[in-house]
Amino acid sequence: MLFGFIKRAKKYWVSDVSFITLLIFLFFLVFFFPSMIDRESENTYFLNLMFIFLFIVGIFSAREKGFVIGAILLVSIHIFLRLIRFSDNPHEYYILERIVIIVNLILFIVINFRLLFRDYQVSYYRIVGAINVYLSMALLGAFAFELVNLVDGDSIIGNIDLSGNENDYGDYIYFSLTCISTVGFGDVYPINVHAKMIATFLSVLGVLYPAIVIAKLVSLGSQKK
- In this structure, are residues 37 and 43 in contact, taking their beta carbons and an 8 Å threshold? yes
Q: Which of 54, 50, 140 is nearest to 99 (CA)?
A: 140
> What whole-number distance in Å separates Cα of residue 141 and Cα of residue 212?
20
93 vs 83, 100, 163, 205, CA distance in Å?
10, 11, 17, 30
Q: Give the model confidence (pLDDT) of 8-40 as tens digits.
A: 989 999 999 999 999 999 999 999 989 988 888
Q: What is the pLDDT averaged over residues 196-208? A: 95
Domains assigned to the chain: 2-224 (1.10.287.70)
> What whole-number distance in Å separates Cα of residue 178 and Cα of residue 185?
7
Full-model pTM: 0.92
Q: Give the model confidence (pLDDT) of 86-118 as tens digits.
A: 665 566 688 999 999 999 999 999 999 999 888
